[in-house]
Structure 1
Amino acid sequence: MPAFSGWPPEALTFLADLEAHNDREWFKANRARYDEACVLPTTALGEALSDLGTPKLFRPWNDQRFRPGPPIKEHLGLAVGYEGAGGWYVQLSIDGLFLAAGLHNPKPDQVTRLRAAIDDGRKAAALTRALAVARAAGLALNDPDLLRVPRGYDSDHPRAELLRRKSLTVSATMPIAKWLHRPAAYDHIREPLDAAAPMVTWLRRHVGPSQSGAR
């Protein structure tokens, strides 16, 4: 596997063509383009980021049983480190490069532990510092999921804004630029992901993976 040196311009050309011809037959006829221009460099990026956790390149097929829409995903999605609680995510589309990290779509037991840790002043202080590092790197915190603090917490809680979140993520979208096609792409990606690392570490320590169904 060659080292990651950015995505070739053909990757974006392919994604633009896919948006115009999104059907399974077209994709099958153009699968070699997808594998060479999209899969190979994204897999190489995953290997370059594997010190953060196990990389996973998402399959191109949309599950149309539950989500109506085009049959093929019009982006490349790479998750890293989600075997624990929280991880990192990289997504390339013709709209730009989306970078994210944190805990997305947690299970109920994880939400319970997240709220308890936010309620704990000592534990929450470390989270506040971690979020400050992420924000300084240009990553924005996700919007609250709830209009009010959850039941059992005071409405004037000092961390009410954080308690209103079920998911806890930071993200940024970078516009398409020439560096995407060069080795410098790795540093542009790695620096924000590293800035989110203290938050991911906090989530793994204080929330952890879901215990639902565990024996």
Structure 2
Amino acid sequence: MEAAFKGFGPKALPFLKALDFHQSREWFLENRDLFEQELRDPMGDLVDTLTERFSAAGLGLRGDRKKSLFRINRDVRFAKDKRPYNRHLSAILSPDGSKAVHGVFYVHIGLEGCFAGVAWWQPEPALLLAIRRSIAAQPDRFRTMVAALKKKGLELDTEGCMKRTPRGFEHVEDADLVAAIRNRHFVVRHVIDPVGIHGPELVDELVDFTLRAKPLLDWGRAIEAEHA
């Protein structure tokens, strides 16, 4: 591990606020050192530290201080919003350390809020269908997972859910199962107090959240294994 996480710099969020105001490559290049010192390098340290802690906890999630970070630059090729820079910095830890798999941990430090998530986000159609079929065919296993999350103070996010039940699941009648089958993502979130991003205690907070989210990880991984 290159360096233990000590916290994001005191100017991390003010830097993002200034970058959002200027949205200028020239301004960013002039202030790159501040970005690296206050945001990028601490995020790399956080990824390294969480990789070590997640391994010790048997969570099966890891990352790389460079490859796990998302770029601060926005891809504006097909976007109506042509601002060149994001209002946040984020990173992902996953079973194989890449961004191309599901069942991941995500951390987001930004002007619109700071939060972490454990998620199957936008699973490809075959996996999403397998998840939905599992909910319909094994409702007890799904409900056990939901109950375990609730006991730990977490619940599945319903953002972006479908308004209608997808084709092939019209026979499902129980309201909780219908709501779950309409989900496009399977996510639990943890809100981070921005005041708390500046110290090493954030690591314990994020490890605790991910351990509480483990029922979702285990449930999704079991479905993946059955339909591999």
TM-score tier by shorter-chain length is 0.7 to 0.9
SS in 2 for 1:102: strand
CA distance in 2, matches of 1:14, 1:134: 36
Structure 1 equivalent of residue 120 of structure 2? 103
For residues 76-133 of structure 1, give each alpha carbon's deviation from its aligned partner in whole angstroms, at most 9, with x where no partner exists.
Answer: 1111105543211100113432111111111111111111111122xx4333333333
SS in 2 for 1:9: coil
CA distance in 1, matches of 2:101, 2:215: 14
Structure 2 equivalent of residue 131 of structure 1? 146
CA distance in 2, matches of 1:30, 1:190: 32
SS in 2 for 1:146: coil
Q: Does 1:21 align with 2:22?
A: yes
Map 1:1-215 to 2 at 5 A.
1-50=2-51, 51=55, 52-55=60-63, 56-69=68-81, 70-81=83-94, 82-121=99-138, 124-143=139-158, 145-158=161-174, 159-177=177-195, 179-207=196-224
SS in 1 for 2:123: coil
> Are the structure 2 counterparts of residues 16 and 90 from structure 1 closer, same or farther at C-alpha, using a change threshold of 3 Å?
same
SS in 2 for 1:153: coil
Runs of 5+ consecutive residues of structure 2 not aligned to the other structure: none
> Are the structure 2 counterparts of residues 135 and 45 from structure 1 closer, same or farther at C-alpha, using a change threshold of 3 Å?
farther
> Are the structure 2 counterparts of residues 129 and 8 from structure 1 closer, same or farther at C-alpha, using a change threshold of 3 Å?
farther
For residues 1-23 of structure 1, give each alpha carbon's deviation from its aligned partner in whole angstroms, at most 9, with x where no partner exists.
Answer: 22012212121221121121112
SS in 2 for 1:106: coil
Letter aligned with residue 173 of structure 2: H
Q: Is the 8 A contact 2:87 2:112 kept in 1?
A: no
Query: How far 1:42 moved relative to its partner?
Result: 0.6
Letter aligned with residue 145 of structure 1: C
Query: How far 1:45 moved relative to its partner?
Result: 0.9
CA distance in 2, matches of 1:88, 1:49: 10
CA distance in 1, matches of 2:185, 2:134: 14
Letter aligned with residue 72 of structure 1: Y
SS in 1 for 2:11: helix
Higher relative contact order (Cα pairs below 8 Å, separated by 6+ residues):
1
Q: How many equivalent residue pairs? A: 208
Letter aligned with residue 137 of structure 2: D
Letter aligned with residue 30 of structure 2: A
Q: What is the TM-score with the length of structure 1 in the denominator?
A: 0.86
What RMSD in Å do the two structures reach over aligned CA positions? 2.3
